[in-house]
Amino acid sequence: MSSAKSSGAAGDSFYEDDGLPSERPPIPPGTDHIGANEGMVTAVFRASSHPTVAVFHVFFKICAITSYLLLGLFTHSFVFQFVITVTMLAFDFWTVKNVSGRLMVGLRWWSDVNEDGSTSWRFETLEDPASVSTADHRIFWWSMYVTPIVWVTLGVVSVLKFNLSWLIVVFIALVLTGANLWGYMQCDKEAQKRIQNAVGNTFLHAALNRFMPFSGN
């Protein structure tokens, strides 16, 4: 049995756990605008509030896929290529789960094992999701959606070429990337609920003040 719990992170305490920066850097003014004289990809990363984190968020994904596709040109050892690819996948999983998700989009997920052996899934979001940079949001979610699609495609190619041994790598990749994608999708749902509740409470408060202006006295 498993259960899901959500909690909101208050202020900068969301960033203080696990030795990560205790303050959220301000979003640079005008950084959501993509300059006409620079490449789109470069501009998006320059607009990020956490450019280093954004780079590593994408870097390990590219490394894993590149290792899977091209490392065989330099070595005939399946074991070596397998180890390098899976290591890159593990680095990517850890980075996304523990660093980039929290800093780039203000989301965090984890699981706890209860005394009875059941698993409790916990999802945490920032109090103000609107504070997330547009560039960070795009980099994070686009890479999260595109990566599993790439691995599914590579898996289909492996089946068509009868390279069934490589399906193990594809399976590991889909498990790790899929786990992070599922976890952050649940976090995003909690964030959307928070926004909807806040908007609903605002309208309710305004209506009460409009029709019962003296109700608070």
Query: pLDDT tens-digit profile of 126-162?
Result: 776 667 888 999 999 999 999 999 999 999 999 999 8
Domain ranges of the chain: 2-211
- Distance between CA 52 and CA 49 in Å, rounded? 9
Greater confidence (10 vs 159) lies with 159
Ramachandran sector of residue 106 (left: φ over 0; alpha: ψ -120 to 50; beta: rest): left
Question: Is the pLDDT at 179 greater than 50, yes or no?
Answer: yes
- Distance between CA 187 and CA 195 in Å, rounded? 13
pLDDT in tens, 24-69: 555 555 444 444 445 777 877 888 889 999 999 999 999 999 999 9
Structure tokens at 176: 């790790």
- Distance between CA 163 and CA 184 in Å, rounded? 32
Question: Is the pLDDT at 202 greater than 90, yes or no?
Answer: no
pLDDT on residue 32: 47
pTM score of the predicted model: 0.72
Reported as a pLDDT band with limits 50, 70 and 90, residue 206 is low
- Distance between CA 27 and CA 47 in Å, rounded? 9
Nearest CA among 157, 183, 172 for reference residue 87? 172
Greater confidence (181 vs 19) lies with 181
> What average pLDDT does the structure give for the chain?
79
Question: Is the pLDDT at 214 greater than 70, yes or no?
Answer: no
